[in-house]
Structure 1
Amino acid sequence: MAVHNDLGKEAEQLAKSWLETKGYAFVEANYRYKHAEIDLIMTHNGIMIFVEVKFRSGTGYGYAEEFVDYRKRQLIIRAADHYIFAKDWHQDIRFDIVGVYRDRRGHIAFRHFEDAFY
């Protein structure tokens, strides 16, 4: 597996653990539908949340939310629609982005964008 894939999986695990400390409940990871993948599916206060996780080793090339373009958002929405139908979910949903940042010293920081798109 390529290094960027390893970093992505590590970032997803860090984001999952961090969200759990904020009271989110883990449902599923890496849900795939056709060409789309949802990194994390969580619930919080009765809302199902589809989370896109982005890892950055700095902000020199931009922030995490800047890398979730229109095409990526459409793929995530399509996969979420499929998941909602398959699970017969009839309550609210939300799409979040969690940026996981590691500085030069290895310190981890998070940026959470609730209700980032739809």
Structure 2
Amino acid sequence: MLNKIKAKAAHLIRGENAEEQAYRFLLAKGLEPVCRNFRCKQGELDLIMLDKQTLVIIEVRFRKSDKYGSALESVTQKKQSRIIAATHHYLSADKTDRPIRFDVIAISGNGTIDWIQNAF
């Protein structure tokens, strides 16, 4: 049981590190932070940032290897639906007239970062 707890903790740490890496990457690209880790019953929005006048909802995915599919492939239709539902919830409290875009930051185990704008 203790090993299972340690493995989960290591997995969470890798996820947090990937999210921080994505956050810094996007800051360097000129995006402005709005919110991190917005949680609601519909799901979680990893990063919410502004790209000029566009509100960008960013899903960060990390895969140590492509053995079970790439980081990008892990953003399934079901995952996209949950992100969209969580975005509706976020916008119900923080209304905006800004255009909205959904991006994915896919980070592989070798450190490669792929930024897919308008991913869905």
- Alignment TM-score, normalising by the size of structure 1: 0.89
- Whether 1:27 aligns to 2:30 is no
SS in 2 for 1:4: helix
1:9 to 11, 16, 22: 16
Q: Which runs of 5+ in 2 are unaligned?
A: 1-7
Q: Compare 60-69 and 5-14 and name the one that shifted more.
A: 60-69
Identity %: 35
1:98: how far off? 0.3
Aligned to 1:95: 102
The alignment partner of 1:2 has SS state of: helix
Cα offsets for 1:27-46 (capped at 9, x unmatched):
11110110400111111010
Q: Please give the per-residue CA displacement for 1:47-81, whole angstroms capped at 9, x wherever unaligned.
A: 00111101122333322121011111111101111
Aligned alpha-carbon RMSD (Å): 1.3
2:36 and 2:98 map into 1 onto residues whose CA distance is: 20
Count of aligned pairs: 113
2:85 is equivalent to residue 82 of structure 1: no
Give the gaps of 5 or more residues in structure 1. Answer: none
Moved over 3 A (4+): none
TM-score where L is the length of structure 2? 0.87
